[in-house]
Amino acid sequence: MNWRELDWKPLALVPVLALAVLPFIGSASTWLTLTVAGLAMGMIIFIIASGLTLVFGLMDVLNFGHGVFIALGAFVAVSVLGSMGDWTGSQDLWRNLVAVIPAMLIAMLVAGAVGLAFERFIVRPVYGQHLKQILITMGGMIIGEEIIKMIWGPAQIPLPLPAGMQGSLFIGDAAIEKYRLIAVVVGLLVFAILAWTLARTKVGLLIRAGVQDREMVESLGYRIRRLFIGVFVAGSALAGLGGVMWGLYQQSVIPQMGAQVNVLIFIVIIIGGLGSTGGALIGALLVGLMANYTGFLVPKVALFSNIALMVAILLWRPQGVYPVTNR
């Protein structure tokens, strides 16, 4: 697709929303703080949702158990970071990163490995059966949560930010938390890697072709089953990474945290258009901004603001902002 063919209207939604609320907030510094917080929240949600939207787009699987990989990643980070107190307690950012990056990688490996087993024993027997998929994947998530409770306990566990990531930077009168800037950078990096993989590699070409026409890819002799497994494992690993980011964002973890985030994830992939990573990014940023703006302006509305956002988007574009599937 060249630039002239690109549909620019959905790209305008994020800046339009941000600018539209500025008069209601009044203070430019407060608006900037809320906007960066919303972008950071959106980027973390995007990391989690990007894998799930490809899983549905390619595999036609409604995985309501995606939340277990989020919680698993967060709890793995608790264990890894807890054993590296000398590094997380340092005020030097590079020493913090020496602890956080391995925690992210280990969380991704563990979540990916569990995702491999989840696909084999829970998802594979119910391919093409959406009602059974919903029931069995929700059951898998509940079992996963109970296993997490057995290992780490049922109580909430603090996950404090490393010392070098605490505090804020000031832009004029606006206070911008350091970790939120880091979350935006990590989210952009994940999006760039996904976009490059999907656009520039053979595997990415097969994934995009499989999302649009799975039967055509199979007829060309490619083993779509292996592609299924690879995408599911990658999606699980991204959820594990997102779990680490979300746990640090909340600065605490509980076994049910994945189920709590699940609603936001499905809103994001519905807004974005099933199977679209670009759409998922736009949807995630809209959800993050909406949650922060309404939480500040009208706290009671914040509870259902993202549902209202989804309804408004679907009334405008019933298949989402960038639909790419035939379903």
Q: Which residue has the higher pLDDT, 256 or 325?
A: 256
- Cβ atoms 64, 234 nearer than 8 A: no
Q: What percent of the chain has pLDDT over 70?
A: 98
Query: In the prediction, which pLDDT does 112 show?
Result: 97
- Cβ atoms 324, 52 nearer than 8 A: no
Between CA 323 and CA 327 the distance in angstroms is 9
Q: How many CB atoms lie within 10 A of CB 172?
A: 8
Query: In the prediction, which pLDDT does 214 show?
Result: 74
Place of tokens 């490995």: 113
Helix 202-212 crosses helix 28-59 at what angle (to 10 degrees)? 80
Average pLDDT, integer, range 124-130: 87
Summarised one tens digit per residue, pLDDT across range 315-327 is 999 999 988 755 5
Query: In the prediction, which pLDDT does 5 show?
Result: 64
Here the tokens at position 223 are 């083993």
Q: What percent of the chain has pLDDT over 90?
A: 72
Query: In the prediction, which pLDDT does 4 show?
Result: 55
Q: Tell me: pLDDT of 1 over 60.
A: no
Average pLDDT, integer, range 196-217: 82
Summarised one tens digit per residue, pLDDT across range 259-314 is 989 999 999 999 998 888 899 999 999 999 999 999 999 998 887 899 999 999 99
Query: In the prediction, which pLDDT does 314 show?
Result: 95
Fold of 34-316: ABC transporter involved in vitamin B12 uptake, BtuC (1.10.3470)
Query: In the prediction, which pLDDT does 257 show?
Result: 95
- Give the residue extent of every domain in the chain: 34-316
Q: Tell me: pLDDT of 3 over 90.
A: no
Query: In the prediction, which pLDDT does 237 show?
Result: 97
Mean pLDDT of the chain: 91
Between CA 8 and CA 181 the distance in angstroms is 26
Containing 169, the helix (H) or strand (E) segment is strand 168-171
Average pLDDT, integer, range 180-199: 94
Here the tokens at position 137 are 């994947």
Judge if pTM exceeds 0.75: yes
- Cβ atoms 233, 63 nearer than 8 A: no
Query: In the prediction, which pLDDT does 215 show?
Result: 78
Rounded to 5°, angle at Cα 323 from 195 and 41: 60
Average pLDDT, integer, range 158-184: 93
